[in-house]
Structure 1
Amino acid sequence: MTIPQKPKLLVVEDDSGLQAQLKWAYEDFEVVQATDREEALAALRLHSPAVVTLDLGLPPDPDGTSEGFAVLDAIMAMKPDTKVIVASGHDARESALQAIERGAYDFYAKPVDIDELGLIVRRAFGLHRIEAENRRLAASVGADRTVLGTMITAAPEMLKVVRMIERVASTSASVMLLGASGTGKELLAKGLHERSNRAARPFIAINCAAIPETLLESELFGHEKGAFTGAIRTVEGKIEQADGGTLFLDEVGDIPRVLQVKLLRFLQERTIERIGGRKAIAVDTRIVCATHQDLDRMIADGTFREDLFYRLAEIVVKIPALAERTGDAVLLAKAFLARFAAEMNPAVKGFATDALAAIDEWAWPGNVRELENRVKRAVIMADAKLVTAEDLDLDGADGDSSELPLNLKSARERADRKVIRRALARSEGNISSSAKLLGISRPTLYDLLKHYDLQP
């Protein structure tokens, strides 16, 4: 039979008599004791207690608060989810409030009332347990929203794209992804590769717009030793490196017309010739490409070959902008915040209400890339536990520039769908919470979901 472990309570107190009194007062907990900063931080690293009681008057400053605040700051930096309860004298309310501002959970007055302090400690353990469970649930919800390996979405508009990608993945068809910059085209291309029978072979990505025109041919097709000045060895191009796998050509619209001819020949014959080479090399590489440009206009202008377009675009997938993916902005923002907070600022725990509203309403012209950058910057710069709209630089911004249709019934239906999806996204699919956000009853929300054919 396994004996359940008691929750660990760290007591930081230099008064040996009070230490003994506190230790025997808490039979429900495993009490760990420390008398100074060094012992306290060592105990924090070793035991990871959920709750700490901290006397602000510690040596070498037992009559002041400087050492106690130094311990509090160190705890918040090392393990910001710890619930720290600080001790203050009857006339030290200002110090207690300052401790709260610096991250303490609560405070108690000396001389100690053991029963009163016990209630505060048990409440702190309860809150820590609830927050840990919420983080676990949030992580599982995030995982449930992951598709194609790493892409996070719950928007019907994007799920339709994902289903299409999954259907064509097992074929050998060339796929063209059309969408604005920052919509996740490379992520979709990689997801397609990983769902295909080529998944064990290389996935190679190249941004055609980022490579000078004079170097792009060598990058794609490779070159033989001595083919040009500086060619001191034979180099395989990206098409050859992706043999048996997938080559992702991002911003394919930027390939110069003279090189389009050579790419077309490869797609027709499935062979390449390196620069300076004289023999054809058979290559089995699947091409997936993407662009944000209007290729129809480029074809009409004569800057993009029509025959190449039809070779590259056997399957065309149009990717919606983030503003068209209802609820995804909040979902992605929460995932980005969790990642960046863990890496850069563990004190940040989530978004304030005004931040969530601003994320919902912003049009995101830079799409997912813009959202990721704003969240990253906000997490780094945030002073409080919750990121605000001001931290995101979205306070007072009106980003919803889309126009509603003139037909009143259509406008109402569109508005209803949009606000219901936002509520579902905000509450992570919970019907009761969504109904409260919308100010309606659960049966009414169920009726609306059925009427508009929406899934929670």
Structure 2
Amino acid sequence: MAAILIVDDDPQLRQSFEKLLSQEGHSVKTAPSGEAGLAVARSAELDLLIMDVCLPGMSGLETFQAIRRFEPRLPVIIMTAFGTTETAIEATKMGAFDYVLKPFNIPEILVLIDQAIEAGRFMRSRVELDVIPEAASKEAIVGRSKAMQEVYKAIGRVASTDATVLIRGESGTGKELVARAIYQHSQRADKPFLVINCVAIPETLLESELFGYEKGAFTGAVNRRVGRIEQANGGTVLLDEIGDMPFSIQAKILRLLQEKSIERLGGREPIPVDVRIIAATNRDLEASLAEGKFREDLYYRLKVVTLWLPPLRERPEDLALLAEYFLMRYAREMEIDNPGMADTARGVLQGYSWPGNVRELANAVQKSLIFSRGCPIAAEDFSKAIGSGASLRGTEDEFSDETIRQWLLRVLLSEGEGNAFDSIMDRLAGLLIGEALNLTGGNRTRAARLLGLSRPTLLSKIEKYRLKAGAPLSGETP
């Protein structure tokens, strides 16, 4: 749930927004003028401001500038009619998260609102480094091993500079947390921080999402649109999964790094932008270079500073510390007593390779806590939590395939004729979406990104499979 302020002089619009966002689980405040909105912003802790450009008395831009002076990290969405689009674009250049045109497309604005709330959380949730579990917040990088000490030193050295940083490591090692820590310790910490996942956005949309477009650039481009890079002017952009960025777009990122400028789609004039680029990938970029899938000149531009995150199997001394941290964190979130961990459970931690790294460990601890029923986490709790995933991964392809084949055979025999394919696909889709919701704590926007779906598509499938956050589809599983 987020605290959202709506500032608009139209009482019907305020009422509609309040009803819509309340149904989404948010806490909504409204104000009819810039002066009233400014007063609310000063007195309340907000997660998002949605504001019209044209307001009686103090204008939308004046209100925006006044609020930015004392809440520079508060994401702001500007509302505008067609006649004031240029004003909204100016507000975006000044630091507004984005702008929307009236009348609204409700699914699209809900997606934008989720994105803005998440961006605000990224900017304002402090990432703590090298802390003990008892003192750690929800956002922390935990580890005392020599490898992690080197990571902390690297963050400290690079944060105060404007150097481009390439963060490398396997999936689940915490690359996004490290990027946020660099941003939060930098001189741009009071400026925007945007995360762009290069694989979550379809290739056909990624270029316009990054760089924006001019009116008439393509069919449907009825107005100029500012891209995410331009929105983050003065701040920091994390290009996540850059190893999967389409080759055709890499040249434009290279130009951004070399010339500090971009061009919108359909534009002819370079637009100067001042952003710091942090990139992250779990790909073998050297192999991509050899295969001609990644530009060599971009590769060398990105790796001004390279920061490697060690996989969990290379820092086994951190396993117990991390498990204790997640145990305390999830116990707080679930509002239950922390049952602690039996000594036998630590042996299971050390005996497993954790191919999913910290993300997999967190998931295993959460599952163990749910099913421990208040007793100390035992070896069998961890074994059960990682057992199903381990059996599907397996150590040999034949074992994994055979497990799946046996399950498919049981389903085929039970379904009879005509329904097997749809039934199996629905079960798998429901399980996959349920696990994505569980992994993201019910955050539908993040789950959609993880699955590579649009948010409206995810919402329709959640309704189809009658899913709830953290509650995968019931039924027989592999």
Mapping 1:127-276, distance limit 5 Å: 141-142=132-133, 150-276=140-266
SS at match of 2:265: coil
Tell me the equivalent position of 2:333: 343
In structure 2, relative to structure 1, the CA distance for the partners of 1:387 and 1:230 (3 Å cut) is farther
Matched residue of 2:171: which SS? coil
3-state SS of 2:194 partner: strand
Structure 1 residues 70-109: aligned runs within 5 Å: none
Whole-Å Cα distance in 2 between the matches of residues 266 and 361 of structure 1? Answer: 46
CA gap of 1:232–1:143, structure 2 versus 1, over 3 A, is farther
Q: Is the deviation greater in 233-242 or in 197-206? A: 233-242
Give the TM-score of the pair, scaled to structure 1. Answer: 0.53
Q: Give the conservation status (yes or no) of the 8 Å contact 1:345–1:379.
A: no
Shift of 1:296: 0.9
What do the CA deviations read for 1:76-102 (whole angstroms, capped 9, x no partner)? xxxxxxxxxxxxxxxxxxxxxxxxxxx
**Other-structure match for 1:359:** 349
Equivalent position of 1:281 in the other structure: 271
Match for residue 318 of structure 2? 328
Distance 1:282 1:172 in 2: 16
Listed as ranges, the gaps of 5+ residues in structure 2 are 1-130, 392-478
Q: Distance in 2 between matches of 1:293 and 1:333?
A: 27
Distance in 2 (CA, whole Å) between partners of 1:339 and 1:321 is 22
CA drift at 1:234: 3.0
Q: In the comparison of the two structures, how many residue pairs are matched?
A: 260
Quote the offset at 1:347 in angstroms.
Answer: 4.4
8 Å Cα contact 2:143-2:321 kept in structure 1: yes
* SS of match in other structure, 2:167: strand
Q: In 1, Cα distance between the equivalents of 2:259 and 2:379?
A: 55
Q: Quote how far apart the aligned CAs of 1:249 are.
A: 0.8
SS in 2 for 1:188: helix
SS at match of 1:210: coil
Partner letter of residue 283 of structure 1? V
- Cα 1:302/1:393, change in 2 over 3 Å: same
C-alpha contact (below 8 Å) 2:368/2:385 kept by paired residues: no
How much does 1:348 deviate?
A: 4.4
Deviation at residue 327 of structure 1 after TM alignment: 2.2
Structure-1 separation of matches of 2:159 and 2:337: 42
Asked if structure 2 preserves the Cα contact closer than 8 Å seen for 1:348 and 1:382, the reply is: no
User: In structure 2, do the counterparts of structure 1 residues 395 and 272 end up closer, same or farther at CA, with 3 Å as the change threshold?
Assistant: closer
Q: What one-letter code is carried by the residue in structure 1 that aligns with 2:276? A: R
- Residue aligned with 2:277, SS: strand
Paired residue for 1:314?
304
Q: Which has the larger radius of gyration?
A: 1
Alignment CA distance shift 1:344-1:220 (3 Å): same
Structure 1 gaps of 5+ residues are 1-139, 400-456
- The separation in 2 between residues aligned to 1:141 and 1:371, in whole angstroms, is 17
Secondary structure (helix, strand or coil) at the match of 2:269 reads coil
Q: How does 1:6-155 map to 2 (within 5 A)?
A: 141-142=132-133, 150-155=140-145
SS of aligned partner of 1:229: coil
Give, as a single letter, the amino acid of the residue that structure 2 aligns with 1:296: E
| 2:124 corresponding residue in structure 1 | none
Equivalent residue for 2:381, pick from 388, 391, 402? 391
Aligned to 1:433: none
- The alignment's C-alpha RMSD in Å is 2.6
Q: Deviations over 1:220-266 (max 9, x none)?
A: 11223343233344332221122111111111111111111111111
How many angstroms does 1:395 deviate by?
A: 8.6
CA distance in 2, matches of 1:331, 1:207: 30
Q: Please say if residues 136 and 325 of structure 2, whose CA atoms lie closer than 8 Å, have aligned partners that are also in contact.
A: no
Instruction: Please identify runs of 4+ aligned residues in structure 1 that moved more than 4 A.
Output: 143-147, 394-399
How far apart, CA to CA, are the structure 2 residues paired with 1:169 and 1:393?
A: 40
Distance in structure 2 (CA, Å) of the matches to 1:155 and 1:211:
36
User: Post-superposition shift, 1:192?
Assistant: 0.7
TM-score scaled by length of structure 2: 0.51
